[in-house]
Structure 1
Amino acid sequence: MHRLLALLLLLVVISGPVAAGTVYKCRGADGQLSYQDAPCAKTQQQQALQLPDDQAAPSPPANAPSEPADTLPVTGEAPVSSPTPVVPLTQLYRCMHAVDGSAYVSSNGHPQPFLAPLGMLGALPTSLSQAYGQPGGAGISAPEANRGRVTSGLVASNYVWVQDLCRPLSVPEICHALRDELEQNTRKLQRAFKSDRPPLQRRDDELRAQLANC
């Protein structure tokens, strides 16, 4: 067996690359072996051997144009998701109404002064019902009724300039106020008619963009 393989190898080396095909192993009457690509003589024992195709693919000529590499068909660029715009936090203020003392949140830390009846500010011991309801008080419009007299009702009926007091909120307080407003705006958006939704939707987008900083 080893001798057979050696002879095959010798045949391949001498003859160069061999194409796939049949090689005939011939044994004579004297026992001598030979290999050939034609059938053996009638006086010889014959055995056909199949050679594998070991030839490499022929190399293209040096001046042949190179084939372009396979490329995938371009069907369009993948959509790029736009990042959510980040809007800087707006400075908010907690203000106290100058008349009734109610608290509210505003983006204006310096609200405009306004006129308010002095009797509504609690600066006088006389209540509004007394000041405006007692005889000779602010509820009497006849000039002669109060002529020469300065009463609490007369003072209470005068207007004075007042202004709400405000203080800036810290970042955690601003975030808390924005979340509260977003919750209220979302409820309005859910209940609103289709024609009333655009401004609510814009405000929703603004609030969410600012809350990205929280």
Structure 2
Amino acid sequence: MSARLLPLGFLALLPILPVAAWAADPPAADNVRIYRCVGANGAVSLQDAPCKGDHHQQVLDMVRPKDAPPSVIPAAAPAAAAPVIEREVRVVTVQPPQPMYECVSPEGDRYTSDNNEGNPRWVPTWAFGYASPHHGHGPRPPRPPGSGGVPWHPGVAVPTGSVLVRDTCHALPQQEVCARLKDRRWELIRRYNSALQSERKTLVREQRGIEARLNQDCGGT
């Protein structure tokens, strides 16, 4: 078996065991035996076989280097469950625009109203009478119902009462509603400058109502 020279740096990797320098017994299974040979000229060599010739020999038993045990990677902790995000539910109630109606009186006058019930008025009802004024001594014919003390003659219309009727109204388009609210606001501003102090409170109160309605139904214009 030929001697194999070992690099000097190899000693740094092998811890030296407290073994006799001239050990003759074979090394333990977990050790490695190194021979340090010193020549006549002082040259030093390390090898894994006994020295030859007149070399001064020194035997070193060293622990065979071992690989470090594999590192144990701890098992990852189970991921925490994602928190449940509570969703906020908002209920938004959209109020439809307040309608506006235009009403017409029998005389042709036009006015606006917040409902479709026009101004009420009483209208008399009429009927024709068929009895003539009484002459002679015979029985007096009966008077038509509702004629009251009004004189009546055959074929003459007489009032029989009255009924309650209202002006005709129709809803305005929303665009027209907003335009009329703006016109009314401008009219109130114009009247405010010349109004009495007692009248100004009423004008301001009405203007606040119009402003609120414009903000809600007309985009605040």
Q: TM-score range by the shorter chain?
A: 0.3 to 0.5
- Higher Rg: 2
TM-score normalised over the length of structure 2: 0.39
**Greater helix content:** 1
Higher relative contact order (CA 8 A, sep 6+): 1
TM-score w.r.t. the length of structure 1 is 0.40
